[in-house]
Amino acid sequence: MVEKVENKSIDLKQINIDDRFWNHRINRIIEKVIPYQWDALNDNIPDVPPSHSVENFRIAAGLAEGEFKGMPFQDSDAAKWIEAASYSLSVQPNPELEKLMDELVDLIAKAQLDNGYLNTYFTVAKPDQKWKDFSHGHELYCAGHMIEAAVAYYQATGKDKLLHVVCRFADHIDEIIGPEPGKMKVYPGHPEVEMALVRLYEVTNEERYLKLAKFFVNQRGKDNDFFTNEKTFALGKDDRWFQLDYHQAHDTVRNQETAEGHSVRAMYLYCAMADLALETGDASLLENTKTLWDNVVNKRMYITGGLGSQGHGERFTLDYDLPNDVAYAETCASIGLVFWAHRMAKLEVDRKYADIMEKALYNGVYSGISLDGEKYFYVNPLEVFPKEASYRHDHVHVEPERVGWFGCACCPPNIARLTTSLGQYIYTQKDKDLFVHLYIGNDSTFIIDGKKVQLVQTTNYPFDGNITIDVNPEEEIACGVHVRIPSWCDMYTVKVDGEVYPIDENWNNGYVQINKTWQKGSKIELVLDMPVKKMRSHPKVRQNAGKIALQRGPVVYCLEEVDNGADLMNIVIPKQATVTEAFDPDLFGGMTTLTAEAKRIVDSSQSEDLYQSSDFDVEKVTIKAVPYSLWGNRKTGEMIVWVRES
């Protein structure tokens, strides 16, 4: 059995972020993205394809005439927006926004059928096809997002209207699907409802929801005929990349040891597996989840935390198959990885989870949105040559620059909901122990043994690695504060109340456990040395052979054409080259950049010959690298993460 301790979910209201790096990003979501997405959902943005999402609810509610439009899972965009907007209210109350949310909730409630069913696609467009398309219909997926929205809305506003709606819907699902005789033995093509049901259980304490989540997870990969016989599944019959493994249904979850298929589906399933391991103490499920974790992070993950190395099927492929230019690395998959890592960090004290959570957050997730919050990458390659990316058929999924909105707009609201709930990911609490996973300036309050304990983090992270944590209990308290030493960090010191704290004897899988009696004014000072590192891939990753990536702290860097000229493949960093960091106050609102002496081919030494035996002249150049997540914010051009080394 998994250690049964109370893993308190962090209430966003406990956490007030005030952080040099994140303030801008959170504000951008609140001030720009959420209003923009509201307009998008309401089809009010000129030159952007209409979402139809709100209009579909209006039609389903009988308030408008018309046909359903958009993707079958268009409802989930509205749900994710409610979720993100709910979190934003905890960050910054906004009565006007709340009014819009209330109206949308009213509308959603009106679209619900009498039996509890709620899905505008099937209600409006396919009324006789309900519960017949589990592989691609996204009915349960949309249900899941609506449940997550309802929980967030309830927690932010105290209003339970949407919660009642989704409970009725969950009850309806529970009536027709489940292990009991006469019920459908099915599972959803796209996992999401599983983790949503666990959240609903946490809020309502209704065991049936937990049981249903367990059923979905355990049923996956069993009695698959219902699934493979579906018409939509059959569309992919001849396509080996859209078979059962695409849906993580090629076997039961307990027999799966490698991450297969659609990478977002995989992440959401693994989240649910972790949730259930935590809620039910299922040790074998935990072991299984850990096996999958190791496969993902040791064999199938880009250095940016990007997941999915093939566009066709948006999916995992093979161990060590990580091409940079045709990567899929969907923003949503990296977001899913953050979700999963967070859950794993609750299950087990091991920095490897928060390390990856941080990696994905600072790199593969945040490359998904432009600095001004107006444009998005769905796909996040690690190497872009715009001409080829715009032309070649095998790059058809790659955009050389961020775009305003997508027909399939899953990623933008997903970034919004993650960013506005960022406070949830900084800490976890297990009984009397607080774990500090992320270094983000904040002022937070926890209840330990019934007493309030305030933690105030002050830091410029990731600009530097100096973190101060003031620990202020309302009255003296003995408890543990565990601070993570990231695996990228080789030199670090921890001081407690001004005294150097002994680390070796307090080392716990990458966390320094500080067990003491805390008083008002207690202080932890953490210094994480943050030199630039030249990172190398496992030698089995053939695309990165002989190449390095520059990383400083958790931030992966890249070279852009705007800084370094075109033909970035001709840049070589000598093995002995020192990479220097510098702070550029004018770039991206102030950013740490890297420079290094490198070599590149002198243009004038090129003949017209396509192949020649003479060598090229090289010249010394100074190269400049910027954080990967910020690439493409100036002008369209080449970008590489992996640079040749010699």
Active site residues: 314, 410
Number of residues that bind its own copies (CB under 8 A): 55
Q: Which amino acid is at 549?
A: A
Q: Does the protein bind its own copies through residue 391 (CB under 8 A)? A: yes
Outline where 300-366 has alpha helix (H).
331-347, 351-359
Extended strands (E) in 433-490: 433-436, 442-448, 451-459, 466-473, 477-484
CB of 615 to its own copies, least distance (A): 7
Window of 8-16, 170-178, 283-291, 606-614 that interacts with its own copies by CB under 8 A: 606-614
DSSP lists the bridge partners of residue 452 as 447
Which residue number, 211 or 312, has a Cβ lying nearer to its own copies? 312
Of residues 23, 115, 129, 298, which one binds its own copies by CB under 8 A?
Answer: 298
CA 116, distance to chain mean position in Å, is 31
Binding residue for its own copies, selected from 28, 138, 299, 375, defined by CB under 8 A: 299
- Interface region with its own copies, contact rule CB under 8 A, candidates 58-66, 133-141, 285-293, 309-317: 309-317
Shortest Å, Cβ 633 to its own copies = 23
Nearer to its own copies (CB atom), residue 205 or residue 613: 613
Which two tokens mark 214? 């367990």
Residue in 248, 280, 317, 459 binding its own copies, rule: CB under 8 A: 317
Q: Of these, 313, 368, 441, 632, which contacts its own copies (CB under 8 A)?
A: 313
Is residue 508 involved in binding its own copies (CB under 8 A)?
no
Nearer to its own copies, 125 or 577 (CB): 577
* Nearest distance from C-beta of residue 394 to its own copies, angstroms: 4
**Contact with its own copies (CB under 8 A): which of 538, 580, 619, 622?**
538
Taking the complex as a whole, the smallest distance from the CB of residue 350 to its own copies amounts, in Å, to 15
Q: In the bound complex, what is the minimum distance in angstroms from residue 147's beta carbon to its own copies?
A: 34
* 311 part of the interface to its own copies, by CB under 8 A: yes
Closer to its own copies by Cβ: residue 502 or 546: 546
3-state secondary structure of 194: helix
Task: For strands 15-17 and 383-384, give the pairing.
Answer: unpaired
User: Residue 617, interface with its own copies (CB under 8 A)?
Assistant: no
Among 84, 259, 301, 514, binds its own copies (CB under 8 A): 301
Q: Which is nearer to its own copies, 541 or 559 (CB)?
A: 541
Compute, in degrees rounded to 10, the torsion defined by CA atoms 39, 44, 46, 49: 80
Residues counted in the chain: 646
Based on CB atoms, which residue is closest to its own copies, 469 or 643? 643
The rounded distance, in Å, linking the Cα atoms of 373 and 30 is 10
Question: Token digits for 133?
Answer: 């398309």
Among 106, 257, 529, 567, binds its own copies (CB under 8 A): 567
Q: Which listed range, 41-49, 400-408, 546-554, 628-636, lies at the site for its own copies (CB under 8 A)?
A: 546-554
Q: How far apart are CA 250 and CA 221, in angstroms?
A: 6
Q: Of these, 49, 533, 633, 634, which contacts its own copies (CB under 8 A)?
A: 533
Closer to its own copies by CB, 476 or 603: give it. Answer: 603
Span 444-503, contacts to its own copies by CB under 8 A: 488
CA-CA-CA-CA torsion sign (471, 472, 474, 475) = positive
Least spacing, CB of residue 603 vs its own copies, in Å: 8
Q: Which of residues 513-532 bind its own copies (CB under 8 A)?
A: none
Which residues does residue 493 pair with via DSSP β-bridges, in sequence order?
Answer: 527
Spatial separation of the C-alpha atoms in residues 71 and 49, rounded to whole Å = 12
Tell whether residue 540 is a contact of its own copies (CB under 8 A): yes
* CB 408, CB 138: distance < 8 Å: no
Cβ of residue 59: shortest distance to its own copies, in angstroms?
29
- Nearer to its own copies (CB atom), residue 432 or residue 534: 534
Q: Which is nearer to its own copies, 33 or 641 (CB)?
A: 641
Two tokens, residue 30: 């609140």
Q: Are 532 and 551 in contact (CB under 8 A)?
A: yes
Q: At what angle do helices 53-60 and 75-91 cross, to 10 degrees?
A: 110
| φ, ψ dihedrals at 265, nearest 5° | -55, -45
CA distances from 158 to 152, 199, 201, 541, 587 (A): 9, 16, 17, 50, 41
* CA 144 – CA 197 distance, rounded (Å): 7
CB of 575 to its own copies, least distance (A): 8
Sign of CA dihedral 18, 20, 22, 27: positive
Residues 233-292 close enough to bind its own copies by CB under 8 A: 241
Range list of H helices, 205-242 = 207-219, 225-228, 231-234
Q: Each residue of 456-468: b (16+ CB within 10 Å) or e?
A: bbbbebbbbbebe
> Which of 63, 566 has the CB closer to its own copies?
566
Distance CA 19, CA 4 (A): 34
Task: Pick the binder of its own copies from 222, 237, 392, 520 (CB under 8 A).
Answer: 392
Q: How far is the CB of 644 from its own copies (least distance, A)?
A: 5
Conformation bin of residue 223: beta by default, left when phi > 0, alpha when psi is -120 to 50: left
Contact call for residue 360 and its own copies (CB under 8 A): no
Minimum distance from CB of 401 to its own copies (Å)?
18
Coil vs helix vs strand at 499: strand
Q: Is 569 in the site for its own copies (CB under 8 A)?
A: yes
Residues lying near its own copies in the complex (CB under 8 A) are found at 241, 297-299, 301, 303, 310-313, 317-318, 321, 326, 385, 387-388, 391-394, 488, 533-542, 545-546, 549, 551, 567, 569-570, 572, 575, 601, 606-616, 644, 646
